[in-house]
Amino acid sequence: MTDITTTGTLDASGDKPAVRLERHLPDPPEVVWRAITDRAELKSWFPCDVIVEGCRWVVGATISFPFPADVIDMTLAGQVLEVDEPRLLSYTWGEAETLTFELFPHDGGTRLVLTDRLEPGWAARNAAGWDDCLDRLAGLPARPDAWKERFAVYSAAFEPQAGPQEGPPAGYKG
């Protein structure tokens, strides 16, 4: 296994655990905000399409998350929970997760913090997946085996707090 640096941490203190990942991006928060809210820009790094009701990120708006058919036959639904442009965006992703993006000015760029509040058994798989996604957001090239390697590292780290970790969801085509 290649040595993969993982950035995710697990907070198991709440009613649901939360995976937290951080990236330092060279662009200012306003530019990163577009990358996390503009449908065309999301397609370059987010794992699925993101369709926001009325094309506006406002509290209460519904969101549809259709995945590519060659990856998995699944469409998740969500709802916008918080919007404070260009600092905070939070929404549900499916029935069991809440994603929160926090943007902080840092050294002429942005410190992005992604928190995924989720089911305990999903912590390692989602941390590995979000690491891959955030790498793409940061402009790093995709690495075909990175998810598997990161999943192994995160599983070992998170199992003591969150219990057994599940791999990809049923129907995942890779």
Tens-binned pLDDT, residue by residue, of the chain (174 aa): 234 455 899 999 889 999 999 999 999 999 999 999 999 999 999 999 999 999 999 999 999 999 999 999 999 999 999 999 999 999 999 999 999 999 999 999 999 999 999 999 999 999 999 999 999 999 998 888 899 999 999 999 999 999 999 999 989 887
Q: What is the pTM of this model?
A: 0.94
Find out if CATH 3.40.50.300 is the number for domain 9-162.
no
| Residue 144 neighbours by CB distance under 10 Å | 6
- Going by C-alpha positions, the residue among 133, 68, 145 that lies closest to residue 99 is 133
Rounded CA-CA distance 58/69 in Å is 28
Query: Per-domain residue ranges for the chain?
Result: 9-162
